[in-house]
A and B are shown apart, each in its own frame.
Chain A
Amino acid sequence: MDLLNALVAFTNFVIVPATAYGAQLALGALGVTLIYGILRFSNFAHGETMAFGTMSVLGITALFQSWGISFGPLPTALLALPFGALITIALVLSTDRVVYKFYRKVKAAPVMLVIVSMGVMFMMNGFIRMIVGTDDRRFADGARFIIKAREFKQATGLNEGLAIKTTQAITLVVAIMTVAALFYFLNKTRTGKSMRAYSDNEDLALLSGINPERVVKITWILVAILATIAGTLYGLDKSFKPFIYMQLLLPIFAAAIVGGLGSPLGAIAGGFVIAFSEITFTYAFKKVITYLGPDGWKPDGLVQLLSTDYKFAVSFAILIIVLLFKPTGLFKGKSV
């Protein structure tokens, strides 16, 4: 029985990565949920918006690095983030202008907008591929670790190491700041209130003199900022690979739906629920159980519920269970 080692192993392989991953999913799901709440369709191009944002940040980071600008122990990408977000805002506003505006005008059914967003997704996907190619890129610079596994072992004398990457800590801090700012904006400012009013009851909002085009524009700006932050944090923490963001769409949608589509609080809770279940269900508990069990005893197998290949199957399963039993999600969003 060795509680400490078990706890450290569990923290290192489950809690730390799942917290960072959960924060990234939550930011992504916030973007999806905002569009669903206000523009009333599921935006399939959200993954590609994240990829585009990350790509812009990547380019500006490279520019900064060539000018010799750095951010001390923090990654230069954080400095480049606002500029990347500006480029992404320009992109989504022009897509709205060119594509979505028309379908709003003709009052197209939401399902049509979903298909249109899929088209936008494929266009953006090709565009991104033309600009940066499909290679794997790492753009995290500065200090790599806050706590290194080897140093942790030496300092504590435990068998198990605990590593916390700078990018994981940054993910959490930036996510908390972003979410706080977003909630302040939605709940306290006039524009935020008008957005919520528009989301709750479009006709009533129009009657009370809210300009719909302005609400739409601000929504897209917020979504672009959220997507750029989410994409960049994911890319910093893992690595930037354009195709990955398309695959991220599934857990992001699962998070938004589990939390309740249209509910910002739900998106955050959903992100963490999905991240923790994906990682806990596919973690091999052999080591942890060996520490917890009687001395000298070892489980025969890996004590792994599902192979890591089935990570996405976990988000699917949760998605289906929630849709069956609580279609409005955990936080009473709109039903799908």
Chain B
Amino acid sequence: MKNLLIATAASALLAGTAQAEDIKVGILLGFTGPAESYAPPMAGGARAALKEASESGAFLGGTKIEIVEADSTCTDAAVATASAERLITSEGVSGIIGALCSGATTAVLQNVALPNGMVMVSPSATSPALTALEDNGLFFRATPSDSRQGAVMAQLLKDKGYSSVAVTYTNNDYGKGLSDAFATNFTSLGGDVTINAAHEDGKADYSAEVGALASAGGELLVVVGYADQGGKGIIQASLDTGAFDTFHLPDAMVGITTEETFGSDLDGTMGQVPGTDAPGGEQYVPIGEANGFDATAPFSPESYDAAAMLVLAMQAAGSSDPADYKGKFYEVANAPGVEIYPGELKKGLEILASGGEVNLVGASAIELIEPGEAAGSYRVIETIDGKQVTVEYR
């Protein structure tokens, strides 16, 4: 009885001191710019996970998490850097979820996160260039690198019997990285890439670009662009001039914008986006409904998992200091350990607190591989009667 009293008093005291130091976590996403339609459901996912951990009372002995949001835009490295600078120096965050696009992520990582020793977990930066970047173990991503997406996409098109395709990419880190990865893989599978040409975002008219693509020819056009930007313009101009009527859409083109703009004009067009048929995905949907965002939107599950990984790593290290917890990501995201699904963060936090091991499965069946990126499975979609329908997982 006496022991119990002491224990209770001690834990109350501990909880008291911990609560005094509530921590802040930054959500740094491209709320404006060419990928802005992706940001709200992503932010929703990250917020939901942080809220869940904060309200569980089990996180670092009852520490609460305050969320600070900032805009990384997609293409404006200066704005992204300034936003991240603010999160770290004036808000004093303990970790950052973000950024959204590869270019912004690279800029923030090199200019702000590395010099300040801050951990960044991006839900959606997919450029292969980030794999090779020296990051002092501070950078993680809940999404696979595009070198993997390029391989998946090449195999998918090959399996569907295409042997000659044209490729156009948005002229930035993401577009160049993915289109090159695809072209290399497709050529080594015996396919023929007739042209691999860049397009600039933000134009009103893409008929000249499409003219060049049409001249090169191909059975379909792979559009490595943004659904809110040049990618849309390229598809529109191709349909208008009759240059191509079938397309292939990588992750940044899959989504509601493309569906609403083109409807059944794109019937037969396929695409892929990171995703999984693991049970975590289904358990994640009600979380989205409860928090008012679309949990099936691209990169929303990855955002939940990015935030979940971050809190679990902090818990495993027993500290919110980036230098302490940055080494814990692989432990909490991979086997062995008790599998943690969406909505079970409290269970995971408690297991870690008592010295056990967890394996975050999360909403996207995340599996972390070196150097800190998801191994990656993809959801393949096909446009049928104007709707993007999931046809398989790879």
Contact = CB atoms under 8 A, between A and B. Distances in A.
Interface of A: 9, 12-14, 17, 21, 136, 145, 148-150, 152-153, 161-163, 165, 234-235, 238-241, 243-244, 278-279, 282-288, 302-304, 307-309, 311
Contact of B241 (A163, A234, A308, A311): A163
B211 interface: yes
A136 B214 CA distance: 25
Given A241-B202, A241-B204, A282-B208, A149 B215 contact: no
B198 to A, nearest CB: 8
Given A17-B208, A161-B241, A244-B204, 12 more contacts: A13-B210, A17-B211, A17-B241, A235-B204, A239-B204, A241-B204, A244-B203, A287-B214, A287-B215, A302-B212, A302-B215, A304-B215
Candidate in B204, B205, B236, B243 with the most chain A CB atoms within 10 angstroms: B204
Given A238-B205, A243-B202, A311-B208, A284 B242 contact: no
Interface string B154-196: 0000000000000000000000000000000000000000010
A284 B215 contact: yes
A150 B215 contact: no
B51 to A, nearest CB: 31
B217 interface: yes
Interface in B4-28: none
B204 A286 contact: no
Nearest to A150: B242
B211 A14 contact: yes
Contact of A287 (B197, B217, B236): B217
B236 to A, nearest CB: 8
Pairs of residues from A and B, 4 with the lowest C-beta to C-beta distance, nearest first = A149-B242, A161-B242, A284-B215, A13-B211
Nearest to A149: B242
A299 to B, nearest CB: 10
Contact of B216 (A136, A145, A152, A302): A302
B240 interface: yes
Contacts of B207: 13, 17
Contact of A13 (B195, B204, B214, B236): B214
A279 B208 contact: yes
14 contacts: A17-B211, A17-B241, A152-B242, A153-B242, A161-B242, A241-B204, A283-B212, A284-B216, A286-B215, A302-B216, A303-B215, A307-B197, A308-B209, A309-B198
A243 B241 CA distance: 25
A278 B202 CA distance: 19
Candidate in A9, A165, A239, A284 with the most chain B CB atoms within 10 angstroms: A284
A196 B11 CA distance: 93
Contacts of A9: 214-215
Contacts of B199: 308
Contacts of A17: 207-208, 211, 241
A235 to B, nearest CB: 8
A285 B240 contact: no
B245 interface: yes
Contacts, number: 88
B200 interface: yes
B86 to A, nearest CB: 24
A285 B215 contact: yes
Contact of B242 (A12, A136, A244, A308): A12
A241 B233 CA distance: 12
A227 to B, nearest CB: 16
A149 B237 CA distance: 12
Interface residues of B, number: 28
Nearest to A309: B200
Nearest to B210: A13
A234 B204 CA distance: 9
Interface in B212-235: 212, 214-217, 228, 232-233
A285 B216 CA distance: 9
Nearest to B202: A243
A170 to B, nearest CB: 15
A221 to B, nearest CB: 27
Interface in B133-155: none
B200 A284 contact: no
A123 to B, nearest CB: 22
A148 B242 contact: yes
Contacts of B211: 13-14, 17, 279, 282-284, 308
Candidate in B198, B203, B217, B233 with the most chain A CB atoms within 10 angstroms: B203
B29 to A, nearest CB: 19
Contacts of B198: 309
A239 B203 CA distance: 9
A282 B200 CA distance: 15
A283 B215 contact: yes
Nearest to A241: B204
A40 B197 CA distance: 44
Nearest to B232: A136
A244 B198 CA distance: 19
Contacts of A162: 242
Nearest to B245: A150
Nearest to B241: A163
Nearest to B198: A309
A165 B216 contact: no
Contacts of B197: 307
B242 A163 contact: yes
Contacts of A283: 208, 211-212, 215
Contacts of A302: 195, 212, 215-216
A152 B242 CA distance: 10
A164 B75 CA distance: 35
Contacts of A287: 214-215, 217
Contacts of B232: 136
A12 B216 contact: no
B241 A149 contact: yes
Nearest to A20: B207
A284 B166 CA distance: 14
Contacts of B240: 145, 163, 165
Contacts of A153: 242
